[in-house]
Amino acid sequence: MSKIAKTPSPPYYAVIFSSIRTEGDQVYSAMTDRMVELAAQQEGFLGIESAREDVGITVSYWASEEAIKNWKQNAEHLEAQRLGYKAWYSEFKVRVAKVERAYGI
């Protein structure tokens, strides 16, 4: 199975989450797995890609801005955001972009 999301023809949206982690939290991995599982159940979710070295980058793909707003307000996701502010990230940034072109092999 490919680790690159299979997205439809544009346009669609990308939410880019870049982060620097804090040290030592053992619950983080389970929460990220749960967030991917939960996001996949949201209407308008198209896929996700993630990589981590010094900087973690996760890109989730969505059919519409409305789908992104609904995901941001999901109760479990709100709790994960709260924990992120409090314990998991020393720094992060979220960017939302409209994908107008996409190509690859």
Q: Where do the H-state alpha helices sit in 9-74?
A: 28-40, 65-72
CATH architecture of residue range(s) 12-99 = 2-Layer Sandwich (3.30)
pTM (2 d.p.)? 0.90
Listed ranges 12-26, 28-42, 61-75; the one with the highest mean pLDDT: 61-75
pLDDT tens string 58-105 = 999 999 999 999 999 999 999 988 988 888 898 999 999 999 999 998
Q: Which residues contact 11 (CB under 8 A, 6 or more apart)?
A: 98, 99, 100
Is 98 within 8 Å of 11 (Cβ atoms)?
A: yes
CA–chain centroid gap for 36, Å, is 8
Quick one: pLDDT at residue 53? 87
DSSP-derived secondary structure letter, 7:
-
